Chains A and B, each alone.
Chain A
């Protein structure tokens, strides 16, 4: 009896410590240093040390640093990058991701279709994509609100970065090919114009009313140049700057898109994409747009996001803009520019250590950290269990 009590006490203490271990770990201050890092403007910075505390980046130091931390991790080679963010994807969404009852469905939320345990999420995370802005399918005019999720979320770390936006709109055949309402571009634009007009005069707290007042950000999927022109005209009238996803006529609409302040989302690009499409991001950046990449996950392999960026660089985009397109611009398109996407003090510590420049296809993922915890460590020989993509 007297022996059992201390044993029980020790067991209880161990259990409590076990439960609190992650919390304790987060309260540690960790320094991660590497010879290179991706800066907030997309350029590569030398000799960077990140101080991480409480799941966030506390400081970013360059050069030799002497800091008081509990743990120091030093990479002899490699590049620290903010976790890559895929936008306008359907990663982790199970089943149908749009409700086809009406062309206007602003109250739907794609987060209701999320399967957080999906293997595709984990596989994306292991490829360096730490967050994904998922959205309802581009079908109907307003298909619902997008959401941003972390691909890997250890215990105690929130999976959902954002649940209620941006609101997804579609202009193009997806909006009128459904047998529900308008049958043409003219009909779609008429309906949208009227809906926005009555939302403005009616007021209220509906998502459409909040969007029209500028309180809810918007993602517009524009299929061709006419759709881009229509979106710029219509949203310009309301003083709104939506994020616009447009790839096919980007070379021609670059100047007009530059006048809009929103992020332009392009992609995905593959080795078989037309040159005219691949030249798009370069022209957009030349005209002054900020570009973000859509990786086509999970229909393409997880590395497709980095491949899109690399091909864009090959056809004229400057590398710093491409790195921004994988990180901070994608975060801005998702409405989370202050929280993830850059190695800046106060941002969440969702980082990836690549073996080289993330734009190089011969760079691999070395480690993935989410909220200051290491969640993936690539083994030198990829194994069946580690490579979640093949397991799927």
Chain B
């Protein structure tokens, strides 16, 4: 504010000091550029997709990431700073890091915990080279269904360690047939008995059902949601996450860099999810620890987690409560909001199945539109119920899963709710495998939603690896979604829905350096992620 006046003598000496400083700055600036180049990562020679508002896709170009942020995107003529780390891949492509808008993360309190004990950890073998299998000219008999030759050389277990330690059964199973088939003792696996460890390849032998089940992640009836009430929007999913879970390694290998960690559907009105990154130092992992609340319509809330008991013929416990049917689910949902309004206005709340007092604040915020809400519904009747109840209570929400959306498209379009759709499947797997309600899915549902103009994101939920998000995009494209729309459904659209579109979701200058480099065109069956970069650091390298 008050600037002292300088007399002439001081001015002269001041000017010479300034000149000296400028000279020093010029002297050091060239050196400084060389030093700063150590924080520069350049990916060149690849096709660039997912610029969206930043421009059209580039056939062969360069992306420069400096200090964790994208600083330049252009053609091959873009100059590369000296001393930068360069990823160059002939025939490769680059997309933004994928974002799963509704990921069910694998919990650690799982049924197979006891199988962990005493099992030594092993480095992860490198993923199989699908392109090589396709190129070879082989008899069908020499291949299993995924096209891998039984005579393929056994992967070197010590080669190309990517993310250091494999956990136990889940990783063995998730890495599925390739690892087991390539073991020299593969034919003996069945004779070794379930739960034993093969001394040659170190994999845990699973039964066929277990294999299918755990390969896709979450065990069916396990629930980590607080079950002292069916209405728990005051609790947080982030408190249940193991940030060192191998599930994050699987997500990173599949190119997914940011996820919304969603709860399982054991509660009618469940906890608040979290927006988290799948790798990096702990203090950068959490972008939002209290995001959307997920409420579940359908039978999940009385099928998953501890069962609710009727008060007849048995002793009364905390679990003597609703719901036991879809009517009960709607009743509990409605009552939660009515009771919250009553409680917040200072009136006494009475009656069975009253929500806990701690939930009122969250419910009131949802009602006021201040806290985001997701309604999860698979069947057509549950989707209709979601819209009906939301209408009744004046709630705005995002529809999640929506397997039978094709049966009630007008409701969804007129309801103007965005949709997080997925996963795409024919035979229900993972958490859907144990429900009788998921048999009528269609591959074209996502295309129908997008053609109708509904804002849609695609999620793989609990599926990983060859059923993971990248493959979901492949199925979507095969069923009628354009490449650009499908890519947007796993990048920019979920970024907007999660409120992080200023940081991630597209290849634009100023956004975080989250990119995936693919071995071929992205989302093709013969292509896989060969490098995943997060905040300018290579977190997965399979070149």
Contacts and interface: CB of A to CB of B under 8 A. Distances in A.
B317 to A, nearest CB: 8
Contacts of A253: 244
Given A190-B226, A224-B108, A274-B117, A185 B239 contact: yes
Interface residues of B, number: 26
B227 A190 contact: no
Contacts of A188: 239
Interface string B240-271: 11111000000000000000000000000001
A186 B244 contact: no
B225 A226 contact: no
B240 A184 contact: yes
Interface stretch (B37-45, B229-237, B522-530): B229-237
B282 interface: yes
B228 A187 contact: yes
Interface string B117-133: 11011000000000000
Given A225-B244, A252-B244, 17 more contacts: A182-B228, A183-B226, A183-B306, A184-B225, A184-B240, A185-B239, A186-B226, A187-B228, A189-B239, A190-B235, A190-B239, A194-B358, A224-B242, A225-B108, A225-B242, A226-B240, A226-B243
B269 to A, nearest CB: 14
B201 interface: no
Contacts of B117: 274
A255 B271 CA distance: 29
Most B CB within 10 A of own CB, among A183, A224, A256, A276: A183
Contacts of A187: 226, 228, 232, 235
Given A190-B234, A190-B235, A190-B236, A185 B224 contact: yes
Contacts of A256: 282
Contact of B239 (A181, A183, A226): A226
A249 interface: yes
A230 interface: yes
22 contacts: A181-B228, A184-B226, A185-B224, A186-B224, A186-B225, A186-B226, A186-B235, A186-B239, A187-B232, A187-B235, A188-B239, A189-B235, A189-B236, A190-B234, A194-B358, A224-B242, A225-B108, A225-B243, A229-B282, A249-B244, A252-B244, A275-B120
Nearest to A255: B282
A225 B108 CA distance: 10
A205 B167 CA distance: 46
Interface of B: 108, 117-118, 120-121, 223-228, 232, 234-237, 239-244, 271, 282, 306, 358
B224 A184 contact: yes
Most B CB within 10 A of own CB, among A183, A185, A186: A186
Interface string A132-143: 000000000000
Interface of A: 181-190, 194, 224-226, 229-230, 249, 252-253, 255-256, 274-276
Most B CB within 10 A of own CB, among A181, A182, A190: A190
Contacts of B306: 183
A190 B358 CA distance: 10
Shortest Cβ-Cβ A-B pairs, 3 listed: A187-B226, A189-B239, A186-B235
Nearest to A253: B244
Contacts of A189: 235-236, 239
A181 B224 CA distance: 15
A186 B228 contact: no
A276 B244 CA distance: 15
Nearest to A256: B282
A187 B239 CA distance: 9
Given A181-B228, A226-B108, A256-B282, A186 B240 contact: yes
Nearest to B121: A276
Contacts of B121: 276
A250 to B, nearest CB: 12
B226 to A, nearest CB: 4
B227 A226 contact: no
B441 to A, nearest CB: 30
A331 to B, nearest CB: 30
B228 A183 contact: yes
A242 B373 CA distance: 36
A183 B108 contact: no
